[in-house]
Amino acid sequence: NAGVTQTPKFRILKIGQSMTLQCTQDMNHNYMYWYRQDPGMGLKLIYYSVGAGITDKGEVPNGYNVSRSTTEDFPLRLELAAPSQTSVYFCASSYPVGANYGYTFGSGTRLTVV
């Protein structure tokens, strides 16, 4: 059981480039989330999804886009990379009802924009 898988683990982008961070889960979770973690800081929610075809903005959505065409996949797209997007990105998933199960996190993608 792989849980939540994120790729790539590391990436360096130049300013203005674009990329997609991949996230896949095999637990049949309806809810999926993208967070960013800046050095020494907590997690900030970028986007989340409550099921295939449904996405919504979190606290810091500017500069990002998401899609959810399947239950398993929730890619995060950066269209015009900026130095302020240098961060560690975490994808997470959870069961659809109640909070008792908590979230399952991926191992993260460390992105540097230069």
What is the binding site for other proteins (CB under 8 A)?
4, 31, 33, 41-43, 45, 48, 50, 56, 58, 90, 92, 94, 96-100, 102-108
Task: Give whichever of 64 and 90 is closer to other proteins, judged by the CB atom.
Answer: 90
d(CA 114, CA 38): 16
Q: Whole-number minimum distance, CB 80 to other proteins, in Å?
A: 27
Contact 76, 7 (CB under 8 A): no
Strand blocks (E) in the chain:
4-7, 10-13, 19-25, 31-37, 43-51, 54-57, 64-66, 76-78, 87-94, 104-105, 109-113
For residue 90, what are its two tokens? 């975490």
Q: Which residue, 74 or 90, has its beta carbon nearer to other proteins?
A: 90
CB of 102 to other proteins, least distance (A): 4
Q: In angstroms, give the least distance from the CB of 104 to other proteins.
A: 8
Nearer to other proteins, 56 or 79 (CB): 56
